[in-house]
Amino acid sequence: MFPNRAAVEGVGDAAQLAEIKGRSLWADARTRFFRNKAAVVSLIMLGLIGAFALFGQFFAQYDKGFVDFSLIGSNANKGVPSIENGHYFGTDSNGRDLYARVVQGTGISLMVGIVGAMVAVIVGTLYGATAGYFGGRIDGAMMRIVDVLMSIPFMFVLILMLVIFGRSIFMLFLGIGLISWLDMARIARGQTLTIKNKEFVEVAVATGVRPIKIILRHIVPNLLGIVIVYATLLVPSMIIFESFISFLGLGVQEPNTSLGALINEGARTMQFGYYWQIAYPLFFFVVTIFAFFFVGDGLRDALDPKDR
């Protein structure tokens, strides 16, 4: 069963044998993921929504800022979704093409979600892994900072910030970046505490690998499974968060828009029968969020086969 030296030499020059490609744990996880139908369908949906946000503008018949004055006052009959006049999704209450607006809103919502998740992955993982790896006082100090930041009611602070410094996408990203990494830091730290007591980390310490290298080479790759799952589940919650801010009228500012802002506008005119003004943004919002949740679920099953 074990090739001893004599057997290896018997085979001939063993170095000449073709190298066998190993199956990494990532490759295994990929196969498991693609066996999950709901996750794959959701991934395709996400791909389509992403393509819609990126390239949808090219199919729009009207510019997103163009106000069709001919429709003002007769939105209920002329602004309905139709293929003929080019307003595929109809127009909003200001006579702007809703299709172009939804494309723009989807893009901004996705960007908010992805930026939030990226900040969480990069800052949160490194912060948590560092705290967990060094332990003791450093850990205590770093995690107490997280506790303090977590105890601040961020919605309130963010609203104040948006009011004081003016509403802008930058402020929104800053606010979302500030809160999104806190939970991730806690998760990463907890995982690090279990990983750092594994023997392969001890081997690395005994060999003389520097702490930074140990964190990056041994701890973070073993954290990544959980981090990725949490990040995919964080994207929709960031989108919801942004939508809530925008729904309050504080988030993205005109002429920019996001799905939350569009839903807000749609909700105001819903009672007058302009159902399409809420239906289309809501459709994209719900589909995006469901797709992210299903993908996250699929990733969790794929990366953590024991936990099912």
Partner 1 sequence: MNPLLSVRNLSVTFDVRRPGSWPWTPAMKLHAVSEVSFDLQPGECLGIVGESGSGKSTIARAIVGTIPSSGGNIFFEDHDLANMDTRQRRVHRRDVQMIFQDPLAALNPRMTVGEIIAEPLITHEPNTPRKEVKRRVGELMERVGLLPNLINRYPHEFSGGQCQRIGIARALILKPKLIICDEPVSALDVSVQAQVINLLMELQRDMGLSMIFIAHDLSVVKHISDRILVLYLGRVMETAEAHKLTTAPEHPYSQALISSVPIPDPVLERARHRPILEGELPSPLRPPSGCVFRTRCPKVQPDCADAKPALEDVGGRHFVACPYHEAQQVLVVNE
Number of residues this chain uses to bind partner 1 (CB under 8 A) = 36
- Residue 222 interacts with partner 1 (CB under 8 A)? yes
* Nearest in space to 107 (alpha carbons), one of 50, 45, 44, 30: 50
Q: Which is nearer to partner 1, 103 or 219 (CB)?
A: 219
State in angstroms the smallest separation of the CB of 146 from partner 1: 20
Question: Cβ distance 259 to 243 under 8 Å?
Answer: yes
Question: Cβ distance 258 to 79 under 8 Å?
Answer: no
Alpha-carbon distances of 40 from 27, 33, 45, 72, rounded to whole Å? 16, 8, 9, 43
- Residue 8 interacts with partner 1 (CB under 8 A)? yes
Q: Which is nearer to partner 1, 199 or 254 (CB)?
A: 199
Contact string (CB under 8 A) for partner 1, positions 199-218, x = contact: xx-xxxxxxxxx--x---xx
- Residue 1 interacts with partner 1 (CB under 8 A)? yes
User: Site residues for partner 1, window 16-75 (CB under 8 A)?
Assistant: 17-26
State in angstroms the smallest separation of the CB of 126 from partner 1: 17
Check whether the bond before 255 is cis (ω within 30° of 0). yes
Please choose, out of 10-18, 83-91, 178-186, 259-267, the segment that lies near partner 1 by the rule CB under 8 A. 10-18
Token pair belonging to 88: 């595929």
Alpha-carbon gap, residue 229 to 294, rounded angstroms? 11
Q: Which is nearer to partner 1, 225 or 260 (CB)?
A: 225
**Could you list the residues that contact partner 1 (CB under 8 A)?**
1-5, 8, 11, 14-15, 17-26, 198-200, 202-210, 213, 217-218, 221-222
